[in-house]
Amino acid sequence: MPDAASSAQPVTGLILSGGGARAAYQVGVLAAIAELLPDAGHNPFPVIVGTSAGAVNAVGLACGALHFCESVQRLTAVWRAFHTEQIYRSDWAGVLRQASRFVTQHVLGFAGHAPVSLLDSSPLGELLARELDFSGIAAAVRQRRLRAVAVTAFGYESGQAVTFYQGRATIDPWLRHRRVGVPTRLRLEHLLASASIPLIFPPVKVNREYFGDGAMRQAAPISPALHLGANRVLVIGVSGNPLEGDANARVVRPRSGKPPSLAQIGGHLLNSSFIDSLESDIEMVKRLNLMSHLLPVDAPNGLGLKPVEVLVIAPSQPLDQIAARHRAELPRPLRLFLAGPGATQASGAGVLSYLLFEPGYCNELIELGYRDAQTKRAELQRFLGLDA
């Protein structure tokens, strides 16, 4: 938990949630934040925590923490130019090979030792190896421009959400129910493990255990930032669900009366992994904040309750509907591959919203993130201490 020195002044944490291609939205928000900074090199987030695709963005920021605005610009350029084949095999040979392997090994039961997955994500590893300079993390920590950066992955054997973090030596590891913090020097395999969506991308071996997407069973997504010393957090979500109880903002979807497609079911399963835990944790923090304010001033040490300021920026539009408009951008082999489960239909666009790494979709999410952050410009300036 935060040490005495860290709690003496505000320490801002940035939490980037998972969500595959939906994480393009985060880049737009970060671009708007970069424009607010009077010093282009200043890193406003001493603690950066990411999960899944959010882990990729988090480490990208941390690698360039000595030059924050430049780091955001590089991230934006990469996301704006994305094509699906940079993330996973989308050609006929790659799709058919992976599909036949999946059916042969995991449906028909023939022996094999290849990790279970519907798609081959080897291109992602090649992209990250080209784009990221992990030595920048140590340099930023050494110059005290970064306190810590962390990514979370899920251990398939241990059943634990493991947060791998790199930061100052004063940060102690932690052990809670099914979640642990492990100090390490972050490497490529930590990112690939955190971004390995179950069944869709293959699990990744880190040390002696195979890991998958960190959003699985991550009961407290905000907790790692607090363990790393943050006492206020900016959460950039990817759900598109209003968090303030605005019923008018909620989208009313017509009921077709038809049974759900496989893709529709899969979309809800992905949402439950990537979104529900974060939104529940935000509600819990707000309730604890309220409880801490209700305690008497003479309560012993606040009974361990310290307020944590939380600012949330989340999509103002449903991302699955945006994905549905761009489904024709998906490479033809993948369109045919996903047509059967219903992912290319409007009802199954939830799955598509996670897998559509194409310029039209990603750029629209970036622009949406930028606009949503602009609408909260005053709140961001106050939260980051830029309104003085």
Q: What is the set of active-site residues?
A: 52, 213
Closest CA relative to residue 289, chosen from 275, 302, 271: 302
In sequence order, the β-bridge partners of residue 213 are 153
How far, in whole angstroms, is CA 168 from its chain's centroid?
A: 23
How far, in whole angstroms, is CA 215 from its chain's centroid?
A: 8
Region at 15 (left for phi over 0; alpha for psi -120 to 50; beta for the rest): beta
* Structure-token pair, residue 368: 């949406």
Residues 194 and 213: beta-carbon distance below 8 Å? yes
The dihedral over CA atoms of 315, 318, 320, 325, expressed in degrees to the nearest 10, equals: -100
69 — phi, psi (to 5°)?
A: -65, -40
Sign of CA dihedral 68, 36, 145, 20: negative
Give the whole-angstrom CA distance, residue 30 versus residue 384: 13
Beta-strand pair 47-51/309-313: unpaired
* Structure-token pair, residue 204: 């990744």
Closest CA relative to residue 350, chosen from 336, 363, 338, 364: 338
Residues 369 and 24: beta-carbon distance below 8 Å? yes
From the CB of residue 22, how many other CB atoms can be counted at a distance below 10 Å? 31
Alpha helices in the chain (DSSP H): 4-7, 24-36, 53-63, 68-80, 92-106, 122-131, 135-142, 188-194, 223-227, 262-271, 277-294, 319-325, 332-339, 349-355, 359-375, 377-383
Q: Give the number of C-alpha atoms closer than 13 A to the C-alpha of residue 340, restricted to the C-beta side.
A: 5
